[in-house]
Structure 1
Amino acid sequence: MSKDAYAKLVEKFQRLSRLEHAMTFLQWDQLVMMPAAGNDTRSKSIAELASMHHEMLTEPEMGELIDTAQGQVTEPSLQRSLLEMERTWRQAVCLPSTLVKAQSLAGSKCEHGWRTQRKENDWKGFLSNFREVVNLSREEAQARQAVKPERFPTPYDALLDLYCTGDSSEFIKKTFDQLKTTLPGLIEEVISQQNETVSLRGSYPIDAQKQLNEKLMKVLGFNFEAGRLDVSMHPFSTGDTGDQRITTRFRDTDFADALQGTAHETGHASYEAGLPEEWADLPVGNARNMCLHESQSLLFEKQIFLSSPFTQFFAQSVHSYLPDAKRFSAEEIWHASKRVQPSLIRVEADEVTYPLHVILRFEIESSLMNSTLEPDDIPELWDEKMKKYMGLSTKDNYADGCLQDIHWTDGSFGYFPSYTLGALNSAQLFAAIKKEHPEWQEKLAQGDIGFIRNWLQKAIWSKASTLDSQDIIIQATGEGTNPGYFLEHIQARYLRNQY
């Protein structure tokens, strides 16, 4: 060989990264800027690239090179890099390219239809596309499970591995059962003790809100020379090295919802921007998993932005950009922003009730992928669980019920648990930051979050995928994921009004 096997693998994965880059920005444009009439052609182009990517990743030579490299590579850092290459290859090789292409087409069609169908409360129309997404996702889950049945006891576990690597459905169920036991009483106690808050509703021009959100991103450390903010139906963050894209959504009668969404997505983008350059374009250089990814977004949104000292600081900017908000003090904005109230919409839920929204979705999607639930039966079960967990009904209200999320439209089953696991991790990480920086409240009151970014850069972002997620958490905090930190955070903020 003119080059050793590992060097050839590096070249191949760098080429794959170039295709991923192209698909990322074609998809971003499809969701944010593309005229509706272009969807069919764009979907075909993305599907073709996805098929090419899959064929390149699963070509016979790839497995041969991995086998050869395993006998050549001795340096620990390269061994870890090779391990992540192998993991990426094994996740792909079990799926035929025809399935990958079919999923891309079905997902694009379902997502595009969902944009209109949700607005029109059209569950039947959505279901006509969604059934195919479910069928293809089940096919994927079963194919992945068949490769390592000893590791994946259920088809759903095989999909969870794509987002929550290392956390089984059994572990997640036990963790969620603990929250289901504790949270209802805690929510009742919080609601009984919270005082009446002002309504932040008013007249807030969208252009001014966009400027305010950009100001928030700058304070949180976002680099606008390497990214941008746009508008989409569902807030998200995507991008690549040097080009992080954030979207949010605005309502001219409310400013708090957009700010929280922007803070959340800035956390995602910060993680991606902080990944080590030396591993760029290789699997080992990727963010570890979505449970860590969500810990970063929730840390920025809930631990930083929603804290009392930061609100005291940022209220000055709110008053400056939005004159109608001057009638609210920083204290009033803080109490209104952290008001606890069971609600229908997940992305608008407070952090105390939010886990119940995730638990509902976890229970439904696990049954759906394990074929103990059919798509037609989702609305009835959704309504049943909403009544049980939130005391609210979604009967015949699909737009605010089972049609509200984008995740299932492209078959991202297994993603939802990462939100609540991320919340647990974020509280635990921030507890470690507070311990190391006892002056944290004074710093946030001055708009200084540099110490937090520096800590996260060292403890989380620089690790990329060089370690397993629980090892990263243990190194950063001294122990694995512990829900006790989240519950203590809730009690401190909502019952003791400490921050």
Structure 2
Amino acid sequence: MTIAYKKLHDTFARLSRFGHLSAIAGWDAAAMMPPEGGQARSEALAELSVLTHQILTAKQVGEWLEQAGGEQLNDVEQANLREMRRHYQQAALLPESLVQAKSLAGARCEQAWRIQRKSNDWEGFADNLKEVVKLSRQEAQLRSEAAGISRYDALLDLYEPGMTSQKLDVLFGDLKTWLPDLLQTVVEKQKSETRIAPQGPFDIEKQRQLGLKVMERLGFNFGAGRLDVSAHPFCGGVPQDVRITTRYNEDEFLSAMMGVIHETGHARYEQNLPKEWLGQPVSNARSMGVHESQSLLFEMQLGCSEPFLKSVYPLVIEQFGHRKGLDESNFMKLNQRVQPGFIRVDADELSYPAHVILRYEIEKALMEGDVEVDDIPALWNSKMKEYLGINTVGNYRDGCMQDIHWTDGGFGYFPTYTLGAMYAAQLFQTANKAIPTLQDDIVRGDLTALFQWLQQNIWQHGSRFSTDQLIKNATGETLNPAFFRTHLENRYL
């Protein structure tokens, strides 16, 4: 290992260890921490963010990056250097004071949101969100000026490198030309089908046991991860210690089960990132679009398919027994039901893109300064009525307060969900061609071949390749949204 590169390698390994602590502390704040611990935790995490910012933006790091560019490096080291440079450049743009202020404001807003959402307190939430938006705009402006791109694109690039709002407008614009009609057609088609809501209550502990058994079926490594409860389902932690959460409702169990499947997709990706590169930027997940492709491949492509539902149906009966609405046929129909609703995380895959496009359009306008926080509820309601025919006036809890992302300044993240859905369709259809027995394997509960394919084509590569190159290597072409349309039409028409 060459001199400058070795110094960078050691520095980023140190940063990774601090990131480990931050990730576990963040998980604890969401899943375990008592309410009165919030202020101290916010201050501790803000201090940690400042410390890592100081280490990453130190003058010598920039010098080592320049020197390492002239050293003899192998392909993986060159990819790692590229990612190191990207991390350094992103961090060096921001003053320490902004990093600290944004961390504190985000933690404060998120922790208050957990209570404010339950009480439908938009005014209280808006007060905190305004500070987060102000600081996020400052960050976006600095990044925009440095990169010569729009403020929103500068934030989008943090989550999906290489993606722009211009590209998104084309992708989402195409969706708008055919998805509303398909959604309406399927809704009308399903009106003639009988679906019976299973009769609860569904014991929370039995729901948890079902989730654990499904995670086991999906290959989750319980020696390097765990399942807990939080206000908003998420996957956190680090590859060696992945923490996923869900939430439960005694009246129905499908939301929790599908939430677990979704987060397990994230977790399997994390648990199978290249172990020989762990602690280095090249070992990280390629992008949030790729990350969401794994969760949505698990949840939608696999989890809502008839073969998979057949395979897990006995696990459902094992926990809840035979009861009205839980016959196998109805269980299949419930998991492929298309019905526009308020909540994004519970949305069917035909409605889901509308939820994402709505958020994308609002957050882009918010970051560009075209709208303000006080405008969000009316905008939200207008777009929900236009896209899904749903009125959210006064219902902030199930409307513009339902997501956690904006509370800590995660502007630019939402588009990655629909990008992920498109990647997932493309990957799964390619895997089906590569594994002729896959559908039969799934019915038998044997997912070995699928996981081996994902390991070979996605998981083991970390951030070695660009997103476009990764998808092209796996499927033979870069993102092609036609796969997504084909999937939806084949499943629902």
- With the shorter chain as reference, the TM-score category is over 0.9
Deviation at 1:3, TM superposition (A): 7.0
Letter in 2 for 1:6: Y
The CA deviation string for residues 263-314 of structure 1, in whole angstroms up to 9 with x for no partner, is: 0000001001111111110111100000000000000011111110111111
Candidates 407, 424, 427, aligned match of 1:426: 424
Contact 1:203 1:324 in 2 (8 A): no
Contact 1:202 1:324 in 2 (8 A): no
Aligned to 2:214: 216
Deviation at 1:76, TM superposition (A): 2.5
- Secondary structure, counterpart of 1:247 in structure 2: strand
Seen in structure 2, the aligned counterparts of structure 1 residues 111 and 324 have a Cα distance that, compared at 3 Å, is farther
The CA deviation string for residues 434-454 of structure 1, in whole angstroms up to 9 with x for no partner, is: 111122211111111111110
Deviation at 1:325, TM superposition (A): 4.5
Aligned to 1:268: 266
| 1:162 equivalenced with 2:127 (yes/no) | no
Aligned to 1:299: 297
Contact 1:144 1:155 in 2 (8 A): yes
Contact 2:152 2:364 in 1 (8 A): yes
Distance in 2 of aligned mates of 1:81 and 1:120: 46
Aligned CA RMSD, in angstroms, stands at 1.1
Distance in 2 of aligned mates of 1:7 and 1:421: 36
| 1:192 equivalenced with 2:188 (yes/no) | yes
Candidates 446, 449, 453, aligned match of 2:447: 449
Aligned to 1:39: 38
The CA deviation string for residues 54-111 of structure 1, in whole angstroms up to 9 with x for no partner, is: 1110011110010011111342221111111001100110001110110110000000
Candidates 373, 376, 379, aligned match of 1:375: 373
Letter in 1 for 2:151: P
Letter in 1 for 2:238: D
Deviation at 1:469, TM superposition (A): 0.3
Contact 2:292 2:417 in 1 (8 A): yes
Contact 2:197 2:325 in 1 (8 A): no
Contact 2:2 2:72 in 1 (8 A): no
Distance in 1 of aligned mates of 2:399 and 2:242: 31
Distance in 1 of aligned mates of 2:2 and 2:172: 49
- Secondary structure, counterpart of 1:23 in structure 2: helix
Seen in structure 2, the aligned counterparts of structure 1 residues 166 and 325 have a Cα distance that, compared at 3 Å, is farther
| 1:320 equivalenced with 2:318 (yes/no) | yes
Letter in 1 for 2:155: L
- Secondary structure, counterpart of 2:349 in structure 1: coil
Contact 1:236 1:246 in 2 (8 A): yes
Describe how 1:130-145 pairs up with structure 2 within 5 A: 130-145=129-144
Distance in 1 of aligned mates of 2:326 and 2:82: 54
Aligned to 1:76: 75
Deviation at 1:239, TM superposition (A): 1.4
- Secondary structure, counterpart of 1:356 in structure 2: helix
Candidates 397, 400, 406, aligned match of 1:399: 397
Distance in 1 of aligned mates of 2:202 and 2:342: 24
Q: TM-score, normalising length from structure 2?
A: 0.98
The CA deviation string for residues 383-411 of structure 1, in whole angstroms up to 9 with x for no partner, is: 11011001111111111110000000000
Aligned to 1:63: 62
The CA deviation string for residues 189-232 of structure 1, in whole angstroms up to 9 with x for no partner, is: 11111213111342210011101100000000001111110001
Distance in 1 of aligned mates of 2:433 and 2:349: 22
Letter in 2 for 1:164: E
Contact 2:211 2:257 in 1 (8 A): yes
Candidates 161, 173, 190, aligned match of 1:177: 173
Distance in 2 of aligned mates of 1:317 and 1:36: 35
Seen in structure 2, the aligned counterparts of structure 1 residues 126 and 474 have a Cα distance that, compared at 3 Å, is same
Aligned to 2:53: 54
Contact 1:202 1:325 in 2 (8 A): no
Describe how 1:343-362 pairs up with structure 2 within 5 A: 343-362=341-360
Deviation at 1:337, TM superposition (A): 1.4
Contact 2:225 2:241 in 1 (8 A): yes
Seen in structure 2, the aligned counterparts of structure 1 residues 271 and 336 have a Cα distance that, compared at 3 Å, is same
Candidates 265, 278, 281, aligned match of 1:280: 278
Distance in 1 of aligned mates of 2:478 and 2:91: 29
Seen in structure 2, the aligned counterparts of structure 1 residues 257 and 201 have a Cα distance that, compared at 3 Å, is farther
Contact 1:203 1:252 in 2 (8 A): yes
- Secondary structure, counterpart of 1:119 in structure 2: coil
Distance in 1 of aligned mates of 2:302 and 2:483: 16
Aligned to 1:11: 10
Structure 1 stretch 70-79 or stretch 378-387: which is displaced more? 70-79
| 1:113 equivalenced with 2:112 (yes/no) | yes
Contact 1:156 1:414 in 2 (8 A): yes
Contact 2:232 2:246 in 1 (8 A): yes
What is the percentage of aligned positions where both structures have the same residue?
Answer: 48
Distance in 2 of aligned mates of 1:114 and 1:353: 25
Distance in 2 of aligned mates of 1:213 and 1:77: 37
The CA deviation string for residues 143-197 of structure 1, in whole angstroms up to 9 with x for no partner, is: 1111110xx2x10000000111111110011100111111110011111112131
Moved over 4 A (4+): 324-327
Distance in 2 of aligned mates of 1:325 and 1:423: 33
Distance in 1 of aligned mates of 2:402 and 2:338: 20
Distance in 2 of aligned mates of 1:416 and 1:52: 28
Q: How many matched pairs?
A: 491
Structure 1 stretch 438-447 or stretch 215-224: which is displaced more? 438-447
Distance in 1 of aligned mates of 2:361 and 2:453: 35
The CA deviation string for residues 7-58 of structure 1, in whole angstroms up to 9 with x for no partner, is: 0001100110111001011111111001101111111001100100011100
- Secondary structure, counterpart of 1:165 in structure 2: coil
Letter in 2 for 1:356: A
Contact 2:199 2:325 in 1 (8 A): no
Question: Structure 2: 5+ residue runs without aligned partners?
Answer: none
Q: TM-score, normalising length from structure 1?
A: 0.97
Question: Structure 1: 5+ residue runs without aligned partners?
Answer: none
Deviation at 1:324, TM superposition (A): 5.5
Contact 1:123 1:403 in 2 (8 A): yes
